[in-house]
Chains A and B, each alone.
Chain A
Amino acid sequence: MGIALAAGKYLSWGVLSMSVTNACIIALMVLVFVLALLIPFPSGNDRHRTDPPPPPERPAP
Chain B
Amino acid sequence: MTDALIRQRERTPDSHDYPTRRYDLVKEFTWALAMVTVLSLLLAAVFSSPDDKAITLSGWAKADPTDVVATAAGELAGTTTSATYGAPYNHASEGQSVLGMKLQKWGGVGIPVDSADLVLQPLRGVPGDPTLAMALQQWDTLTPTQQTADATAYADAVAKATGGQLGGISPSGRYGPVPVLAIRFLDLARAGGLEGSLTSSGSFYGGDQTRTMLLLADGAYLEDQAVADHLGGDQWGMMNEVGNYPGQPWMWLYTFWYQVKPFSTSENADTQVWALMMVLTVGLALVPWIPGVRDIPRWIPVHRLIWRDHYRRAGKA
What is the minimal beta-carbon distance from B21 to any residue of chain A, in angstroms? 4
- Interchain CB contact under 8 A, B246 and A2: no
- Interchain CB contact under 8 A, B17 and A55: yes
A58 within 8 A of B: no
Question: What residues on A are CB-neighbors of B302 within 8 Å?
Answer: 37
A38 within 8 A of B: yes
- Smallest CB-CB separation from B18: which chain A residue? A52
Number of A-B contacts (CB under 8 A): 93
- Interchain CB contact under 8 A, A21 and B59: no
- Interchain CB contact under 8 A, B243 and A1: no
- Interchain CB contact under 8 A, B63 and A3: yes
A46-B229 Cα distance, complex, nearest whole Å: 55
- Interchain CB contact under 8 A, A4 and B309: no
Question: What residues on B are CB-neighbors of A19 within 8 Å?
Answer: 230, 239-241, 244, 247
Question: What residues on B are CB-neighbors of A43 within 8 Å?
Answer: 309
A17-B229 Cα distance, complex, nearest whole Å: 13
Binding site for B on A (CB under 8 A): 1-10, 15-22, 25-26, 37-38, 41, 43, 45-46, 48-52, 55
Report 25 cross-chain contacts, Cβ distance below 8 Å, ordered by A residue. Answer: A1-B53, A1-B59, A2-B225, A4-B228, A4-B242, A6-B243, A7-B230, A7-B243, A8-B240, A8-B242, A8-B243, A8-B244, A17-B235, A18-B236, A19-B247, A21-B245, A21-B246, A22-B246, A37-B305, A48-B21, A49-B19, A49-B20, A50-B20, A52-B19, A55-B17
